[in-house]
Amino acid sequence: MHNNQLLKIAKDFGSPVYIYNSETIIKQYKRLNTAFNKVKKVKINYAVKALSNISILKLMDSLGAGLDTVSIQEVKLGIIAGFPAERIIFTPNGVSLEEIEAVAKLGCQINIDNLSILEQFGTKYPDIPVCIRINPHVMAGGNTNISVGHIDSKFGISIHQIPHILRIVNNTKMTINGIHMHTGSDILDIDVFLYASEILFETAKNFKTLEFIDFGSGFKVPYKPGDIETNIEEFGEKLSARFNEFCKDYGKQLTLAFEPGKFLVSEAGQFLAKVNVVKQTTSTVFAQIDSGFNHLIRPMLYGAQHEIENISNPKGKERFYSVVGYICETDTFANNRRINEINEGDILAFKNAGAYCYSMASNYNSRYRPAEVLWHEGKAHLIRKRETFDDILKNQIEIDLKPKIKAVKV
* Catalytic residue numbers, as ranges: 328
* Rounded Cα gap, residues 338 and 242, in angstroms: 45
Q: Which residues contact 43 (CB under 8 A, 6 or more apart)?
A: 66, 212, 255, 256, 257, 258
Q: Dihedral sign for Cα 68, 66, 212, 121, please.
A: positive
* Rounded Cα gap, residues 336 and 100, in angstroms: 47
* Rounded Cα gap, residues 339 and 351, in angstroms: 13
Looking at the chain, how many residues does it have? 410
